[in-house]
Chain A
Amino acid sequence: MSDPTATQDLIKGADDPAASPVAVRDSQRSLWRDTWDILKRRKIFWISLVLLILFLLMAAFPSLFTHKDPEYATLSKSMELPSAEAWFGYDLQGRDVWARTIYGARTSIIVGVLATLATVVLGGLTGVLAAYFGRWIDAVVSRVGEMFLGLPYVLGAIIILGTIAPAQSNPSKFTIMTVVIVVLALLGWPILMRIARSAVIQAKHQDYVQAARALGAGPMRIIFRHLLPNSLAPILVYATITIGSFIGAEATLSLLGIGLRSPVISWGIAIADHKDYLRTGPHAMFFPAGFLSLCVLTFVMLGEAVRDALDPKLR
């Protein structure tokens, strides 16, 4: 299915105009090649890709989108409505909402991506180990996973974050971001563990794995060279959607006052800070909320487009 050349195929397929469907059928066919062929015909994929690039640019170079300082406050302009001068108006402290919304992208995306990465590493590793070695390792990993699955997201995060970083405490930006990322990963890994585990269990009995074992490949080689690349598809899809849901979860925790907090700039904090001013200045809350939802939508759309393309049932 997948090997290093598949990725090259994927890239070649992208800029090779001669790769008509017929030619593709004759050349090597791989899962990723098929997927790409389907993906590039889907409108939803291109929309989400454009949005994704926009958000990534926003996170990497916020100054491309605004020249204003997100920290600069003019109290006399507090809660001023949107105007030509400030597209999204001013927030409670008289700071420019547009600038703060742009700068907020970075934190939210970093938290979402890093938490997902940690989830994938933790869940993927435990899942692969459990499936490959089976027996008591599988039993222990699965039971521990069930215990963490018993904690619903918000509740689990409230319990953990509430004690490590209560709302009154004033942790540094780095500390609180790390804590939030760790908590999200800690509560999220069992689902990924299950996905990876079932993918590897399915792949384990395939002929190529038996062949590799017969040729004397050790467990590490079998896992990293054969099992992991072939179990990557479901993990990838789930991870993309998870980035979106983690961004939403981060905002929810900030809203409750136990996640990120000022002076960090993030969409969740902006929403939390202005939730009590819905009547006088809804703009200070709804613009960040809109960006937040759009960002979540981007990752969900992208994940779904890839999943649909990978799912042979729909072909």
Chain B
Amino acid sequence: MGRYAIRRLLQLVPVVLGTTFIINYMVWQLPGDPFAGRCGQRPCPDSYVTAMREQFGLDQPILLQYGNFLKNLLTGNMGTDFNGVSVASQLGDAWPITIRLALMAVAFEAVIGIGAGVLSGLKRGGFLDNVVTISTLFLLSLPIFVTGFLLQWLLGVRLGIITPTVPDEATVVQLIVPALVLASLNMAFTSRLTRTSIVENLRSDYVRTAVAKGLTNRRVVGIHLLRNSLIPVLTFLGTEVGSLMSGAIITEGIFNIHGIGGLLWTAINRQDYTVVVPVATLLVLVYLIANLLVDLLYGVLDPRIRYE
């Protein structure tokens, strides 16, 4: 396991360097003005652009710029936003809310997704299976913002069950609907993955052996079948924690939640790219690290992976 972990860690290094390099290159080297939005609705004066180019070292060789970009990121020096407020302190305020939202979303995905998947997989072709298949198909085709606006309008504006936007404190109860919206797409994926996995394993030799030994149905399903079927599902859930972060941009924007996603949404609307880039890069890093952790977890759950 130790060697496997080290190998995976070493494999991550070029990917992190490459991805951050791509981001850095695209933002600063491609045509376009990364400072366009720094001055609000009017174009920036030349003197300001020159000062900014100097501050961000755009006149230096590209590799040196990249080095500085990494150094600033690692030391937490992420500059200030349009109003001169430090990005790092805003991130500090926003993290807890986004983490709460993401954890709730993962919980919904796990409970509802796995539950529906297991039920439909065990009774393949039954009524419940059809209901789950069709409803996941619908969930898969609804872009996340459509689900978001729909629930906001239906529950918030029409029925008045929830407040259309989430207040500042963003308690668990207030976050239920946004978390469901954030989870909706992955919930459908989870349930489908669980179903496929269950259906495949139901035909496997070890399940047949377990049944032949005379074990009760509950034991066969609960111990033998579920444990093996859920390994791919768990890894999927893990990988998707990272992508939830980018889904959070839309969800937090719609429900006006002051998390990382909301921060990005506002910064994009204000064209404040010197804020967007470090925050987006951080989210990419979270995504990559989540993937690494999942790979390690995979190694623990399924020992065969380690010896590939």
Q: B288 in the interface, Cβ–Cβ < 8 Å?
A: yes
Residue of A nearest to B248 (CB): A154
B264 close to chain A: CB less than 8 A? yes
Given the known interface contacts A166-B36, A255-B250, the answer about A151 and B284 at a Cβ–Cβ threshold of 8 Å is yes
A144 within 8 A of B: yes
Beta-carbon nearest neighbor of B31 in chain A:
A164
Chain B contacts for A151, CB-based, 8 A:
19, 22-23, 284
- A101 to B65 Cα, complex, angstroms: 46
Closest A residue to B11 using CB positions: A146
Bound Cα distance from A85 to B296, whole angstroms: 61
The reply to whether B157 and A279 contact each other, CB–CB distance below 8 Å, is yes
Contact of B268 among A164, A165, A256 (CB under 8 A): A256
Is A127's CB within 8 Å of the partner chain B?
A: no
A146-174, CB < 8 A from B: 146-148, 150-155, 158-160, 162-169
Asked whether B186 is an interface residue with its Cβ less than 8 Å from the other chain, the reply is no
> How far is the CB of B277 from the nearest CB of chain A, in Å?
6
The verdict on A252 contacting chain B, using a C-beta distance below 8 Å, is yes
Interface residue from B27, B41, B141, B164 paired with A296 (Cβ < 8 Å): B141
Interface residues of A in 250-299 (CB under 8 A from B): 251-252, 255-258, 271, 275, 278-279, 282, 285-286, 289, 292-294, 296-297
Given the interface pairs A271-B145, A279-B157, A301-B137, the reply to whether A163 lies near B30 with Cβ below 8 Å is yes
Over the window 279-291 of chain B, the binary record of Cβ atoms lying under 8 Å from chain A Cβ atoms (1 yes, 0 no) is 0100110011000
| Contacts A147-B15, A168-B36; A159 near B26 (Cβ below 8 A) | yes
- Does residue B64 face the partner (Cβ distance < 8 Å to A)? no
Contact with A164, one of B16, B32, B141, B250 (Cβ below 8 angstroms): B32
Which of B51-59, B148-156, B214-222 makes up part of the contact surface?
A: B148-156
Q: How far is the CA of A41 from the CA of B149 in the complex (A)?
A: 37
Q: Is the interface of A mostly helix, strand, loop or mixed?
A: helix
A115: shortest Cβ distance to chain B, in Å? 15
CB within 8 Å for A289 and B146 given contacts A150-B284, A154-B249, A160-B26? yes
For A293, the chain B residues whose CB sits under 8 A away are: 141-143, 146
Q: Which residues of B contact A112 (CB under 8 A)?
A: none
Contact for B276 among A162, A275, A282, CB less than 8 A: A162
Give the docked Cα–Cα distance between A256 and B30 (Å): 21
- Tell yes or no: A300 within 8 A of B by CB: yes
Give the residue of B18, B145, B273 whose beta carbon is less than 8 angstroms from that of A163: B273
CA distance A292 to B141 in the complex (A): 9
- B280 contacts across to A, CB distance below 8 A: 155, 158-159
The contact size tier of chain A is: 35 or more
Chain B residues, Cβ within 8 Å of A285: 149
Say which residue of B138, B157, B164, B273 sits within 8 Å of A166 (CB atoms): B273
The B interface, classified by DSSP as helix, strand, loop or mixed, is helix
Residue of B nearest to A295 (CB): B141
User: Cβ of A159 and Cβ of B250 under 8 Å apart?
Assistant: no
Q: Is the CB of A282 within 8 A of B30?
A: no
Residues of A near B26 (CB, < 8 A) are 159-160, 163
Residues of the B chain whose Cβ atoms lie less than 8 Å from the Cβ of A143 = 14-15, 18
Complex interface: chain B residues within 8 A of A155 (CB): 245-246, 249, 280, 283-284, 287
- The reply on A138 being an interface residue by CB < 8 A is no
Q: From residue A185, how far is it (CB to closest CB) to chain B in Å?
A: 15
Given the complex of chains A and B, what is the CA–CA distance between A33 and B37 in angstroms? 57
Contacts of B287 in A (CB 8 A): 150, 152, 155
Any B CB within 8 A of the CB of A124: no
Query: Which residues of A are found within 8 Å of B268, using beta-carbon distances?
Result: 158, 162, 167, 256-258
Pick the most buried of B31, B33, B142: most chain A CB atoms within 10 A of its CB. B142
Contact B137 A159 (CB under 8 A): no
In this complex, the member of B27, B143, B250, B284 whose beta carbon has the largest number of chain A beta carbons within 10 angstroms is B143
B117 at the binding interface (Cβ < 8 Å): no
Of the residues A150, A154, A168, contact of B19 by C-beta under 8 Å: A150
Interface string of B82-117 (1 = CB under 8 A from A): 000000000000000000000000000000000000
Residues of A within 8 A of B247 (CB): 154
- Known contacts A155-B283, A168-B37: does B18 contact A147 (CB below 8 Å)? yes
Q: Which 7 A-B pairs have the closest CB atoms?
A: A147-B18, A297-B141, A150-B19, A248-B143, A296-B141, A154-B246, A152-B246
Q: Enumerate 12 A-B pairs (CB-CB under 8 Å) in ascending A order.
A: A148-B22, A150-B18, A151-B23, A158-B276, A168-B36, A168-B271, A169-B36, A248-B141, A251-B145, A278-B157, A286-B150, A293-B143
